[in-house]
Amino acid sequence: MTIWIDAELCNGCKRCVKACPYEGVEMRDGKAHILERCTSCGACIESCKQKAISSDAAPREIPDFSDRKGVWVYAEQREGKLHSVSLELLGKAGELAENLDQEVSAVLLGDGVVHLAETLIQYGADHVILVEDPCLLQYRTVPYTDAMEMLIGRFKPNILLMGATHIGRDLAPRISRRVAVGLTADCTELSIDPDEKILLQTRPAFGGNVMATIANRYSRPQMATVRPGVMEQKECPGKQGEIIRESISISEQDVQTKILEIVREARKTGDLSKAKIVVGGGRGVGDADGFRVLEKLADVLAGEVAGTRVAVEEGWISADRQVGQTGQSIRPELYIACGISGAIQHRAGIMNARYIVAINRDERAPIFQVADWGIVGDLRELVPEMIRQLESA
Ligand SMILES: Cc1cc2nc3c(=O)[nH]c(=O)nc-3n(C[C@H](O)[C@H](O)[C@H](O)COP(=O)(O)OP(=O)(O)OC[C@H]3O[C@@H](n4cnc5c(N)ncnc54)[C@H](O)[C@@H]3O)c2cc1C
């Protein structure tokens, strides 16, 4: 494919220079000029308001998706209990569906899980597509992928949202591969483009330094995952919905994996994503003993302890306590950040906290830019004093 510029039409606005991700356009004598490093990506063509840039590539046709209807949420359940992220996604799905004038469906797979359907309806599902089968009693990649592929083929949804949980991170890429569509993982915002009516999927990119918005014009369903705690649950009391029962033709012989035993990790601590108060620690905490002091503060406040990636890498807290872009997203009422600089990757996980208190001895630490209250000082003095005052209060 070749790209060329009509010098007569080019007014030297430099939009194409800025639009080119590969520095493949430069200005010469006030006119744009295509360089050898041009990859023919076409970004300059879209940016040119003068219509001065052309190419010999035929524009890709957008298929007719008028038969693709409905916003689906994969209702993740384990042992008959719904994961909170599914209810959070139903809230967002309701907004998206309203913008599209379509309906919300929750897809519930398992065995003996019909009792969960009513909760899904009360959190916004117009329909619950239910598949109950002994093969689906516990999550296994292949039968769950088979079931989802079959349902997608049968109902042709427009959008499919899944939680970025351990299960979601396993299942979503499998489904997207099977039905040959793209997948945007770990979205922090979802909305509908008002003109094209397609899903705009926003997520951090380039190590969290930019927010990228991704849209999919050419395939359906548009698939995205969202981490727990990012979206808000919206209860819809009194809502009426319909349960649609479907069956699958999978037998145990077709499934090559068997679950022999489930070994649960002993866990002293509670669920971070549900905690009302979280005390977070970073490199400034200094060592594992420093974290014992933070645990004490969390205990006094009936909260949970979390930390930065540095704290995890140092072995001061376990990986499931990491908050941020590659850890968990939390939405507590109060987040107390102790000895945390406030790197963008950490902030990505706390942006839904209602109030943030930061303790840092460096008054220029970026955490203070997002904190509601900031205390400049040494946490080794301040945290024990907070515990003392709270205990005596
Ligand atoms: C792709 C990618 C993904 C990442 N994902 C995550 C993620 O999910 N979560 C995450 O947290 N990070 C993540 N990171 C790492 C992130 O960029 C930062 O390196 C990290 O968050 C910094 O951790 P910190 O604040 O503990 O340490 P530092 O940045 O070293 O900050 C320590 C702070 O403690 C203060 N301090 C020191 N001593 C004291 C004291 N006695 N009293 C008070 N304050 C004190 C210092 O002034 C400093 O501000 C990611 C990075 C990349 C590239």
What is the pLDDT, as a whole number, of residue 18?
A: 94
pLDDT tens per residue across span 105-114:
999 999 999 9
Q: Considering only 54-68, 76-90, 291-305, which range has the smallest mean pLDDT?
A: 54-68
Tokens of 18: 């800025």
Instruction: Give the closest residue (by CA) to ligand 1 atom 6.
Output: 345
Instruction: Give the closest residue (by CA) to ligand 1 atom 48.
Output: 341
Three-state DSSP at 124 gives coil
**What spacing in Å lies between the alpha carbon of 210 and ligand 1's midpoint?**
18
Three-state DSSP at 287 gives coil
Say what angle helices 288-300 and 379-392 make with each other, to 10 degrees: 30
Instruction: Return the CA Rg of the chain.
Output: 25
Residue 260: burial class (beta carbons within 10 Å; 0-12, 13-18, 19+): exposed
**What spacing in Å lies between the alpha carbon of 318 and ligand 1's midpoint?**
16
Pocket test for ligand 1, best of 328, 351, 360 (most atoms within 8 A of CB): 360
What is the pLDDT, as a whole number, of residue 265?
A: 59
What is the pLDDT, as a whole number, of residue 266?
A: 53
For residue 378, the ligand 1 atom closest to its alpha carbon is 42
Instruction: Give the closest residue (by CA) to ligand 1 atom 43.
Output: 360
The pTM score is: 0.71
Residue 360 pLDDT class (50, 70, 90 cuts): very high
State the DSSP string of 328-357: B----SEEEEES----HHHHTTTTT-SEEE
**What spacing in Å lies between the alpha carbon of 311 and ligand 1's midpoint?**
8
pLDDT greater at residue 346 or residue 273: 346
Contacts of 195 (CB under 8 A, 6+ apart): none
- C-alpha dihedral sign at 262, 265, 268, 273: negative
For residue 311, the ligand 1 atom closest to its alpha carbon is 26
What is the pLDDT, as a whole number, of residue 267?
A: 47
My answer on whether omega of the bond before 221 falls inside 30° of 0, hence cis, is yes
Owner of token pair 């590539």: 57
pLDDT tens per residue across span 257-272:
999 988 875 545 678 8
pLDDT tens per residue across span 188-237:
999 999 999 999 999 988 766 788 999 999 999 999 999 888 899 999 99
What is the pLDDT, as a whole number, of residue 269?
A: 64
Nearest to 331 by CA among 308, 354, 347: 354
Cβ of 290 less than 6 Å from ligand 1? no
Cβ of 284 less than 6 Å from ligand 1? yes
Which DSSP category does 62 fall into? P
| C-alpha torsion angle, residues 321, 323, 327, 328 (rounded to 10) | 90
**What spacing in Å lies between the alpha carbon of 342 and ligand 1's midpoint?**
6
Helix, strand, coil shares, percent, the chain, to 5? 30, 25, 45
d(CA 193, CA 86): 23
Residue 74 carries which side chain, given as an amino acid letter? Y
Q: Which long-range contacts (CB under 8 A, 24 or more apart) does 261-265 make?
A: 262/138
